[in-house]
Chains A and B, each alone.
Chain A
Amino acid sequence: MTVTTRPPTGSAPGPAPSRRSLGDRLGARLSALPTVAALLIFVGMIIYGEAAYGRIVQFSTLSNLLVNNSHLIILAVGLTFVILTGGIDLSVGAIIAVSSVAGVMLSNAGWHPVAAVLVMVLIGSALGLVSGVLIQYFGVQPFIATLATMFLARGLASMLSTVPERLADDSAIRELATQLKIIDGEKVNDLVVTPGVVAAVVIVVLGFLVLHRTRFGRTVYAIGGSEQSATLMGLPVPATKLGIYVISGTLAGIAAVVYTSRLGSAQNITGIGWELDAIAAVVIGGTLLTGGTGFVLGSVVGALVLGLMNVLITRDGGIRPEMTTIITGGILLVFVILQRVLAARRRSETG
C-alpha cells in the first residue's frame, strides 16, 4: 500500500467556531434577503422620488399611497398564504368583480349595508372554497382550478350586470371610505386613513400572527417545503390547503368591499389582471413561487413598491402610462432573478 498524498493538515483550532457562527447567521437570514432588498428598493424609490419630483415624503402622498392600494395589500396577504404552500390563486380579481357588483346591487335594492357587506365577503369565501375543493379533493392543479373559478366568477358578474352599477350616494357602504384626519397639516397635506386602510393593517397583522404564531401557519410553511413530508409528519395537510384558498377568497371579498366603498361603483370588468398585480407584489416581496419561503410583510412592501411606481410615473409626466406594465415586468424580472441566485446558493450549500 502506498500513501500518495499527505498535504499539510488543519488550521488553528481557535477561529473555526466563530467563523462558523457567522456563516450560520448569514444562512438563517438568507431567506429574508429578498424581502430586505424589496424594502431597500422601496426606500430608494422614495428618496429618488423626493429628489427628482419633490412632494413625496409628505403626509398626503403617503396616506394616498396607502388609501389607493389598501385593496391590493389585502389581496397580496391572501396570495402570500397560497403561494407559501406552492399554490397559486388566479381567481381573486374576478372575485372582486362579482362580489362588488352583487354588493352594490343588493345595497341599492334596499338591503341593510351590513348584510350587503357580509354577502360580499361570503361570496369570496364561497368561491375560495370551490377552488380549494377542486384542488384538494379532485386533485386539480391550483393553476387550472383557480382559472376555472376565475371564469366562473367573471361570468357570474357579467350575468348580474354588464354596465357600471353606481352605489347610491347615501349608502352607508361609502362611509367605509371616509377619510379620517389623524394629523391636520398645512392646506391639504393631511395624514388621513380610511376604514379600508385600517382593515388592511389589521389583516396584515393577523396574517403575520397566523403564519408565525399558529400551527395552521406552520403547516402552511411545511407544505411549501415538502407536502409529502408534511403529510408523513401527521400535519393536517388537506384541511390546511382547503383553508388557504378559503382565506384567499375571503380576503378578495374584503378587498372588494374596500375598493367599492372608495370608488362608489362596481362593474363586471373591475379587477381584470389584479390577481397578477397581487402575485407580482408577493414575488417582489420575497416569497418564492415554489413555496416554503416568504413573509406577509414582504408582500405589503411589494404592493407599496408597485403603488409608488405608479405615483412616480404620474409625477414624472414624461413617461407614457403605457410604460407602466413594462416597468412592472422589469422589476418583477429583477426580483425573480435575485431569488434564483439565492436558491442556487442555498442548494450548493446543502449539496
Chain B
Amino acid sequence: MTGAPPIVEMTGISISFPGVKALDAVDFRLFPGEVHTLMGENGAGKSTLIKALTGVYKIDEGQILVAGVERRFGGTADAQAAGIATVYQEVNLCANLSIGENVMLGHEVRGPFGINWKATHRAAAGVLATLGLEQLDLRRPLATLSLAIQQLVAISRAMVTEPKVLILDEPTSSLDANEVANLFTVIRKLRDQGVAILFVTHFLDQVYAISDRITVLRNGGFVGEYPTRELDRTTLISKMIGKDFATLRSLGSERQTHHYEPRGEPLLKAEDLGRKGSSEPTDLELHQGEVLGLAGLLGSGRTELARLLYGADRPDSGTVWLRGKKTDIHNPTAALSHRIAFSSENRRDEGIIRDLTVRENLVLAVQAKRGWFRPLSRKEQDALTRKYLAELNVRPADPERPIKFLSGGNQQKVLLGRWLATEPDLLILDEPTRGIDVGAKAEIQAAVAALAAKGVAVVFISSELEEVVRLSDRIIVMKDHRKLAELENGPHVTAETIVAVIADEGDDEEGDSE
C-alpha cells in the first residue's frame, strides 16, 4: 500500500433503488497487499458498494477502475474474470454437492475425457490445506458441515481463482475465536502475497486486529478514508453513527448493576427438559420481568434448548409448568397461544419474508395468533405498524417498502416488532443482534431492557458474551448441549467469568479422559 497504484479505484459511485438513494457519490480505493475495512452502520451502503464492485448491481453514475482499466460489470462472472472474488456473509454454496465439488464448481480440472475428478479433488485439497482445512473429507456432502466450516469452505472456494482482490463480507459473523484467528492467519498470508483484501465486519476488535486502512460510509454517503492507526475507536464509532458515543454507552451497564430479583412463582419452570441428540435434560426457571441469558459458543446447544421451550422440537423427556400449571407446548402455534414468542437466529430463512412489505411482515404473527378467519383490518394493521416502527426506530419508517430493501439491523427490528405485537409474556430472542451494527444493536438492547421492565420474561441468546453480561439478570452457560452452570449476574460477573466457566469444564474433561 505504498507507491503502487490502487488495484481498485471507484470514484463518484451512485446507485438508486426505487425511492431511495443507496449510494451517493462514494469514492473507494483498494491497494494491493492491504487489508481495507469498510465500516458503517447497517443501511450505510456497505453491502451496496460491495455489490457494485462484484457486479451484482449496476452503477447509475461513477467509474470503476480495476488495475487501471475501466470496467462495467454485467454480472458476477464479469467481476470474477477481472480478478475480484467474494465471500458473502450468508454462505452461498450448494448444500446438495460435496465439499470438493463446491470448492471447485466452475473451475474443475478438465482432461480429454471431461472433468478429471482426481486432479480436481487434488486441487481442492490443496486450496483447503492453505486454510488449515486439510482434515476435511472432500467427498462428504457440504450439508454435513457446521455453518462455520462452510464459511471457511466458501473462502477456500474464492481462493481457487487466485484473485487479485478478495472481498470478505462479514466472514466472521458465525465463527468462534479460534476460527477467526485461523482466518486472520490466512488473510495475512494472502495480504503478504499481494492480494488486496476488502473486509467488512461489525466487530471493532477485528477491525483493529487486521486492517491497514478504513473507509467509513454513512447513510449512503462517503465520510472518509483513514489509516487504522490514526483513528481511535471512539472517533471511528462517532464517524459511523454521526453522533456522540457516550449516549450509546449509557444504555448498557445499568441492568447489570441493578439487576432484577425474581419474586414469587416462576412464569415458566422446566424439569429435565431434553431431547435425545440435541439437548441434554435441563432444569430451568424463568420469572416475569427477568432477562435470562443463554451463553455459550456456537453449537453449544443454546438454540436447541430454545426450540424445546417454544415447541419447535418435541422434547422426549421432562415436564414444563407454565404459570404453575403443567403444560405441553407441542408446537409453535400452541406456544403462541400461551403467549410465548420465538425469534429465530436465521433471519433470512426463518424470519423475514423478503418480498412482503414491512407492514405485512410485522403483522404476520398477530394474524396467525388471531386465526386466519378473522383478518386484521387495514386500520389495525396500520396502527400496529406505525406503533412499532416508531417504538423501535425502524429506518426508513415506510411500512409499504418490501422488507428486502431494508438493512439487516432494520429487518431485525421489524422482526422484533412482529413478536412484540403478539404481546408475549415470554419472548425468546435467538441472536437478535448478529450481523448488525453498533447503533441498531444498542437500540435492540434498549428494547429488550424496556420489555423486561414491563414484566415480560426474555430469553436472550447471543454469541457476544459482553452483550449477554450487560443485559441478563441470570446467565445459563452452555456447552456440548448441556447446562454447565447458572450464574446470578452482578458487578463481579464479566465475559471472562463465562469464558473461565467454559474453559475450566474443558480442562476437567481432558483430565478425566486421560
Contact = CB atoms under 8 A, between A and B. Distances in A.
Contacts of B505: 6
Contacts of B487: 1-2
A332 to B, nearest CB: 22
B115 A215 contact: yes
B94 A225 contact: yes
B513 interface: yes
B488 A230 contact: no
A26 to B, nearest CB: 11
A231 B76 contact: yes
A230 B56 CA distance: 13
A350 B488 CA distance: 34
Nearest to B161: A234
A232 B484 CA distance: 41
B280 interface: yes
Interface in B262-291: 280, 282-283
A233 B157 contact: yes
Interface string B103-116: 00110101001110
B508 A9 contact: yes
Interface stretch (A101-109, A168-176, A206-214): A206-214
B497 interface: yes
B95 A226 contact: yes
B58 interface: no
A9 B280 CA distance: 13
Contact of A233 (B96, B106, B141, B488): B106
B312 to A, nearest CB: 10
A351 to B, nearest CB: 9
A5 B96 contact: no
Interface stretch (B85-93, B240-248, B439-447): B85-93
B364 interface: no
Contacts of A339: none
Interface residues of B, number: 48
A292 B513 contact: no
Given A9-B508, A9-B509, A214-B115, A226 B77 contact: no
Interface in B471-514: 482-488, 493, 497, 501, 505, 508-509, 512-513
Contacts of B323: none
- Chain B residues touching A, majority SS: mixed
A349 B139 contact: no
Nearest to A12: B513
A224 B96 contact: yes
A205 to B, nearest CB: 12
Interface in B110-151: 110, 113-115, 137, 139-141, 143-144
A340 interface: no
Nearest to B137: A24
A350 B95 contact: yes
Interface in A170-186: none
A292 B485 CA distance: 43
A219 to B, nearest CB: 7
A229 B115 contact: no
B105 A218 contact: yes
Contacts of A235: 77, 105-106
Contact of A213 (B115, B140, B486): B115
A323 interface: no
A233 B483 contact: no
Contacts of A350: 95, 143-144
A191 B137 CA distance: 45
A27 B144 contact: yes
B175 interface: no
B76 A9 contact: no
B157 to A, nearest CB: 7
Contact of B76 (A209, A214, A215, A232): A232
A199 B209 CA distance: 63
B496 to A, nearest CB: 13
Contacts of A18: none
A295 interface: no
A31 interface: yes
A10 B115 contact: no
A9 B513 contact: yes
A3 B1 CA distance: 51
Contacts of A21: 137
A234 B512 contact: no
B483 A10 contact: no
B101 interface: yes
A194 to B, nearest CB: 28
A21 B144 CA distance: 12
Given A215-B106, A233-B105, A7 B97 contact: no
B80 interface: yes
A314 interface: no
Nearest to A238: B75
B98 interface: yes
A224 B512 CA distance: 47
A4 B106 contact: no
B96 A2 contact: no
Contacts of B98: 28
Contact of A232 (B92, B110, B486, B497): B92
Contact of B108 (A218, A231, A233, A236): A218
Contact of A5 (B106, B141, B482): B482
B482 A209 contact: no
A12 B110 CA distance: 44
Nearest to B281: A5
Given A1-B501, A234-B76, A28 B140 contact: yes
A218 B96 contact: no
A229 B513 contact: no
A306 interface: no
B338 to A, nearest CB: 24
| Most chain A beta-carbon contacts within 10 A, residue among B92, B113, B488, B501 | B92
A59 interface: no
B121 to A, nearest CB: 13
A27 B505 CA distance: 32
Contacts of A346: 141, 143
Interface in A19-57: 21, 24, 27-28, 30-31
B94 A230 contact: yes
A149 interface: no
Given A225-B95, A234-B76, A349-B143, A7 B106 contact: no
B86 to A, nearest CB: 7
Question: 10 shortest A-B CB distances, which residue pairs?
Answer: A213-B114, A225-B94, A292-B96, A225-B96, A229-B92, A234-B80, A10-B513, A234-B77, A350-B143, A232-B92
Given A27-B141, A214-B115, A221-B101, 13 more contacts: A5-B483, A6-B505, A9-B508, A12-B513, A24-B137, A31-B96, A213-B114, A218-B97, A218-B101, A225-B95, A225-B96, A346-B143, A350-B144
24 contacts: A1-B485, A1-B493, A2-B485, A3-B501, A5-B280, A5-B282, A5-B482, A5-B484, A8-B512, A24-B137, A28-B98, A215-B106, A218-B101, A226-B94, A231-B76, A233-B76, A234-B75, A234-B76, A234-B77, A234-B80, A292-B97, A346-B141, A350-B95, A350-B143
Interface of B: 56, 75-77, 79-80, 86, 88, 92-98, 101, 105-106, 108, 110, 113-115, 137, 139-141, 143-144, 157, 280, 282-283, 482-488, 493, 497, 501, 505, 508-509, 512-513
